[in-house]
Amino acid sequence: MSKQFQFKLVLLGESAVGKSSLVLRFVKDQFDDYRESTIGAAFLTQTVTLEDQTTVKFEIWDTAGQERYKSLAPMYYRNANCAVVVYDITQTASLEKAKTWIRELQRQADPSIVIALCGNKLDLSARRQVTEEEASKYADEEGLLWSETSAKTGEGVNAIFNAIAKKLPLTAPPSARGARAAAPGTTRQNVDLNRQPTARGGEACNC
């Protein structure tokens, strides 16, 4: 039987660099030029199958716009196993912002987190402001995965999620952290509030 792993993946990056579009392309293979942010979706999931038939299920958290005014809660990247930090290759400032997020992750997130730096809007490369050399050199120095993508055409999108899946530690048992929905057995120390009250509810006496 093939093994399945589940991981929490968080998206980070400045507003309007295409974070949600990137995920929409990856999860539903869709793109919409004038897309409003998703209302009511806590997170999306998508599965990647590796060559050895191991499947990696991503629980993908979008910022829900909370990054816009520097108001992303620490809860957001708590227990994240991987992060895709997105910048827009046509906006130099967006790479600087991405670097800020990466520093924040290095400071606050789990030290084993896999971080991918992703230069989006490759379809607009005629207006490119961030060179491949500049971004890849930075990624190398920081030990990050790096690639360029176009959520619009789909170029490079699956590749970056596949690369993350390969880099995640698949030797350990499925992570109980972050992806708690996948591994109920590993969180039995904790209380599950979706569970129905036990039958002895009515008869217990504390005297």
Among 4, 50, 55, 78, binds another protein (CB under 8 A): 78
Going from the C-alpha of 186 to that of each of 117, 173, 177, 194, the distances in angstroms are: 31, 9, 9, 16
Given the complex with another protein, which of 119 and 178 has the nearer CB atom? 178
**Residue 1 found at the interface with another protein (CB under 8 A):** no
Minimum CB–partner distance for residue 42 and another protein (Å): 6
Residue 82 three-state SS: strand
Task: Give the N- to C-terminal CA distance of the chain in Å, as an integer.
Answer: 51
Among 2, 33, 52, 73, binds another protein (CB under 8 A): 73
* C-beta of residue 164 within 8 angstroms of C-beta of residue 9: yes
Please report, as residue ranges, which positions from 116 to 155 form the binding site for another protein (by CB under 8 A): none
* C-beta of residue 85 within 8 angstroms of C-beta of residue 98: yes
Alpha carbon 65 to its chain centroid, in Å, reads: 15
Minimum CB–partner distance for residue 72 and another protein (Å): 8
Minimum CB–partner distance for residue 122 and another protein (Å): 25
Residue 124 CB partners (closer than 8 Å, separation 6+)? 89, 90
Among 2, 51, 52, 70, binds another protein (CB under 8 A): 70
Q: How many residues bind another protein (CB under 8 A)?
A: 43
- Other Cβ atoms within 10 Å of 27 Cβ, number: 15
**Residue 30 found at the interface with another protein (CB under 8 A):** no
**Residue 75 found at the interface with another protein (CB under 8 A):** yes
Residue 107 three-state SS: helix
Please report, as residue ranges, which positions from 174 to 193 form the binding site for another protein (by CB under 8 A): 180-181, 187, 189-191, 193
Going from the C-alpha of 158 to that of each of 25, 26, 27, the distances in angstroms are: 9, 6, 9
Among 34, 40, 53, 141, binds another protein (CB under 8 A): 40
User: Alpha-carbon distance 133 to 103, whole Å?
Assistant: 20
Residue ranges that bind another protein, judged by CB under 8 A? 27, 37-45, 63-66, 68-71, 73-76, 78, 107-108, 180-181, 187, 189-191, 193-194, 197-198, 200-207
